[in-house]
Chains A and B, each alone.
Chain A
Amino acid sequence: MTSPGPGGDIPERPPVTERRLHPVTPFRRAWAPVAVLAGWAVHDPNGAQEQLARLTTTMLLLGLSVVVPVAGLYGFLSWWFTHFAVTDTELRIRTGLLFRRTAHIRLERVQAVDVSRPLLARVAGVAKLRIDVVGADDKDELAFLGEREARALRAELLARAAGFAPETAREVGEAPARELVRVPPRELARALALTGATWGSLAAAIVVPTVLWLTTHSLWTVLATAVPLLGGAGASSAGRFVSEFDWSVSESPDGLRIDHGLLDRAHETVPPGRVQTVRIVEPLLWRRLDWVRVELDVAGSENSVLIPVAPRSLAESVVARVLPGVTVPHELSRPPRRARWCVPMWWRGHLLAVTGAVFVTRGGLLCRRLSLVPHAKVQSVRLTQGPWERRNGLADVHVDTGAGKTVTARLRDAGEAARLLREQAERSRTGRRNARPDRWMTG
């Protein structure tokens, strides 16, 4: 499996060993033509039916005898020409048959490492490994690796990113993890049943096609609307249950571990100091149970859920672990009373608190969202004021973070907002000094 590469850039170093992906990989690529055909059939069902009727058995066999080897060859070649190597400072991925592409991913810039095992991959005993860095492409994932190899590679990458000496990085192994939260399936099911979106999408999937049938009596129109609506309803209820099943969050010296999924298992590792914002979301129907959902933003990573559902006290203790030295404030200040002329009713929902470590805002009256931004993660601060706000002596303060998210303190008193702008810029500058280094084991 291993073949000696063209050697490192620096002559004194031992040559970099290049590796190939797991040999099961070509089969993944072989699916592409089938998927294209299926997509076309779904997109244009009438045309597909016509073409199918015209097909004879010989034509079909002839077609298959061309398509299958070509797809197989394409899969094989793209596997053959994909290599990856781990050096002291980076992960290199070389790929491409006609258009060569080399990605060098610097390890100290790692924002998160994801190992995911879709259902079919679990059957085959393989896994995908993806490194989230800012600006990383979808192509920069290693799919597929053997399961044990993926785990070993993740441990090695994290050890190197953490700043362990290159000689020991391979032997450090998996950092021990301590479980913080595990969401029981019953609690998850109850939480989903208490979510408005679940019922809303279900109701839409039942009502809209019925109304359409009664008004148009056209089977195709009804099917064309019912299928996506049912799909949406399924994704927001059963789909979420399946993907959030057995959700556990653990803590290790390498950072947070998030594992979840019933059919497709996903294992995410977020190293220390990578979290840009944390949001505590409290839907209306969960309030009586005092349950919350916790979301987090990491630059370059699309996964955002930290805990799908947990009691508030537990969630707050996890947040204190994710953002060291932070306690979730309960005393937040309201905008001045005159804000009701700008945003009737909802003005009460906009709250703000600034502590020594975080900038905290809360928005929403029915579904409350509490956002926490560590001062060290603030990239820029903006103050905006529209004409109506200006008349009422109010202004908004926006705090931009590296994950592309903006947290806004709305409807503050204009003088307070101006002061907040200056102070927040100062805090964001000084907050960085106390932050941990990128290589978290060297600090």
Chain B
Amino acid sequence: METGSREETGTPADEPVWRGVQPALLRVRRLLVLVWTGVLAVAAGLLLGLLAGPAWAALALLPPALAAWGWRLLERNWRSWRYAERADDLLISRGVLWREETVVPYGRMQLVEVTSGPVERRFGLATVQLHTAAAATDATIPGLDPAEAERLRDRLTELGEARSAGL
């Protein structure tokens, strides 16, 4: 499995072993950006060209330019998504400009959810989401291999049961 990990292997025992997300997630996101850019550019070009004159239609080049910039950002963002299962808690780290790192102790998990939309399924991806009693807990791991998602779900539920604690 591809790991977007930047951490070296052979770290001390208490250092978490980070795992990245599937490269297919990057492909899906890029594809979505391409599709939307295309739609926007065509719509803007047609509307402005017909209503405001051909000079304005040049503005339709703006979405592709933004998309080209987003192309690189998406890769950086994809690289930043990673998670680690530690002995007692799950770590999720993500974001480049707005970094966020979440720690959820296994005992606090109320529900583990695996979802997979039509596009995600087409690309062989699944999303694991953890819910605790706190609504603010935002622990989602997108872009997992379905088999890995199921393994993670089973392991998390098992550990959650063993260490269960209420509110």
Contact = CB atoms under 8 A, between A and B. Distances in A.
Interface of A: 109, 111, 134, 274, 276, 299, 377-387, 390, 395, 398, 400-402, 404, 406, 418, 421-422, 424-426, 428-429, 432, 438
Contact of A401 (B103, B107, B134): B134
Nearest to B137: A380
A390 B133 contact: no
A111 B134 contact: no
Given A299-B133, A402-B133, A382 B102 contact: yes
14 contacts: A134-B133, A276-B167, A377-B167, A378-B108, A379-B104, A380-B132, A380-B134, A381-B102, A382-B136, A384-B99, A402-B167, A424-B103, A425-B103, A429-B105
B134 A406 contact: yes
Contacts of B99: 383-385, 390, 395
Given A379-B108, A385-B98, A422-B103, A404 B136 contact: yes
Given A380-B132, A383-B100, A429-B88, A400 B137 contact: yes
Given A402-B167, A432-B107, A438-B166, A425 B100 contact: no
Contacts of A385: 98-100
Contacts of B101: 382-384, 418, 421
A386 B97 contact: yes
Contact of A429 (B107, B133, B134, B139): B107
A378 B139 CA distance: 15
Contact of B103 (A382, A390, A402): A382
B119 interface: no
B135 interface: yes
Interface residues of B, number: 25
A111 B166 CA distance: 12
Contacts of B88: 425-426, 429
Given A406-B136, A438-B166, A380 B108 contact: yes
Contacts of B50: none
A429 B167 contact: no
Given A402-B167, A429-B89, A432-B165, A384 B100 contact: yes
A387 B95 CA distance: 10
Contact of B104 (A276, A380, A387, A406): A380
Given A383-B102, A402-B132, A404-B134, 13 more contacts: A274-B167, A379-B132, A380-B102, A380-B136, A382-B100, A382-B103, A382-B137, A382-B138, A400-B132, A400-B136, A404-B136, A421-B101, A424-B103
A29 B135 CA distance: 34
Nearest to B105: A429
B31 to A, nearest CB: 27
Contacts of B97: 386-387, 390
Contacts of B132: 379-380, 400, 402
Nearest to B135: A404
Given A382-B100, A383-B100, A390-B99, A134 B139 contact: no
Contacts of B165: 432
Contacts of B108: 378-380, 428
Contact of A379 (B98, B100, B133): B133
Contacts of A424: 103
Contacts of B136: 380, 382, 398, 400, 404, 406
Nearest to B92: A382
A395 B166 CA distance: 29
Interface in B147-167: 163, 165-167
Contacts of B163: 429
Interface string B121-136: 0000000000011111
A398 B100 CA distance: 10
Contacts of A429: 88-89, 105, 107, 163
B100 A387 contact: no
B83 to A, nearest CB: 14
Contacts of A387: 97-98
Interface in B66-93: 88-89
A353 B165 CA distance: 25
A77 B138 CA distance: 45
B167 A381 contact: no
Nearest to B87: A429
